[in-house]
Amino acid sequence: MSLHWRPMEPKDVAGCTEIIAAHPVIGPRYGPAIKNLRRAWLRLLGSEAMTTAVFEEVDRGRINLAGVGVGVFVRDEFICELKARPQFWIGPELTRRILNGNSPVLSNNEVREANSGDGLNELVWETVTWPSFAKRAEVYHLMGRAYIEIHCGFRLKEMITSQAESPERLQWAIDAGGLYWDSKTARYVKSLKMGPEEFARNPHVVGITRELEFGRPGSWIGTLFNYHPPRFYFSAGEQRLLNCAISNGSGTNQVLAKSLGLSLSTVKKMWLSIYGRVAEQAPELILPVAETGIESKRGKEKRRRLLAYLQEHPEELRSVSRKPNDQKSHQAPPSAGA
């Protein structure tokens, strides 16, 4: 048996929302809004403000759904509302607002602007497993790794985790680096005056800000605040191609074109633009022409080196506004070849 995670697809939404509805604690929090959760997620799916993970286990060739994680980047005003008294359950409130046309979730442009400016507020909507997986520690370890992988490379300013359904899940969030939000004093605190059972039973906030994290010894989740700006400022289309190439183990241009629904000539032109950007900022990543080298091998090695670099620098593949002086077209150098 093996566990893995992948981004959510439209075909997954029904099964993932069923996990929420069937949960004995989280499901009832939604009340009538639970029947609209599927529509709300479908409306956001594919946007740059929604982060998703579907957790699966492969058992003798059969794939079993183990759990789901969904997060969103939201406006400052919603974070303020969430922390104010009286507090509320995040999931049903987001569901209602998204479908009522009053969504606090950022647009694609707002994500790019915030990620290029002061930073993003990341809010975990839900992280839930089926009951049969709820006691398995490896599932939660996988959830933690997925969360890091999904959000690493963004400029984050505050992270708020999903509202715990039990003292055990609450402690898990605290151990990861979260702090309790005290709505009476309007600040994050390390300890509670009330018991963890009472805290988890009522609407609550557990999170951390960039400023607070930098003022204490580093935590596991706090590594996400270590942000480095991108060097290349790839376009959204170029980022999709690069992500697809990484997911496909590099992949041929034909495979990438089919996966992205693009023509082969378009994919080749995009690689030329990508190599042009890289050559301007980091020419050391573009291999020199070998006198006796074979063109196809040289191109494959150049691509392999670039993709390896990008896997170590996820900020290059995150939504970001273009630099003001980055309006000129990028042409590949004469030696560049896809």
Its sign, for the CA torsion 321, 233, 42, 83, is: negative
Q: Let me know: does 105 contact 49? Beta carbons within 8 Å.
A: yes
Ordered per-residue pLDDT tens for the chain, 338 residues = 799 999 999 999 999 999 999 999 999 999 999 999 999 999 999 999 999 999 999 988 899 999 999 999 999 999 999 999 999 999 999 999 999 999 999 999 999 999 999 999 999 999 999 999 999 999 999 999 999 999 999 999 999 999 999 999 999 999 999 999 999 999 999 998 899 999 999 999 999 999 999 988 778 888 999 999 999 999 999 999 999 999 887 678 999 999 999 999 999 999 999 999 999 999 988 766 444 344 456 778 889 999 999 999 999 999 998 764 544 444 434 333 34
Name the residue ranges covered by the structural domains of the chain. 2-225, 236-317
Cα separation, 87 vs 183, in Å, equals 8
Q: Let me know: does 311 contact 246? Beta carbons within 8 Å.
A: yes
Cα separation, 20 vs 4, in Å, equals 20
Q: Return the number of other C-beta atoms located less than 10 Å from residue 214's C-beta.
A: 11
Q: Quick check: pTM over 0.95?
A: no
Half-sphere exposure of 83 (CA within 13 A, CB side): 22
Half-sphere exposure of 169 (CA within 13 A, CB side): 24
> pLDDT by residue (tens digit) across 252-268?
899 999 999 999 999 99
**Cα torsion at 188, 92, 194, 205 (round to 10°)?**
-10
* 17: region left, alpha or beta (phi > 0 left; psi from -120 to 50 alpha): alpha
Per-residue tokens: 76: 């400052």
Domain 2-225 has CATH 3.40.605.10: no
> pLDDT by residue (tens digit) across 19-65?
999 999 999 999 999 999 999 999 999 999 999 999 999 988 899 99
User: CA 103 → CA 99, 100, 107, 216, 263, distances in Å?
Assistant: 8, 7, 10, 34, 36
* Residues 6 or more apart in contact with residue 322 via CB below 8 angstroms: 233, 235
Of 317, 221, 226, 238, nearest to 274 by C-alpha is 238
Strands (E), the chain: 2-6, 50-59, 62-74, 120-129, 156-160, 179-182, 187-189, 206-209
Print the SS3 string covering 122-153.
Answer: EEEEEEEECHHHCCCHHHHHHHHHHHHHHHCC
Cα separation, 137 vs 58, in Å, equals 17
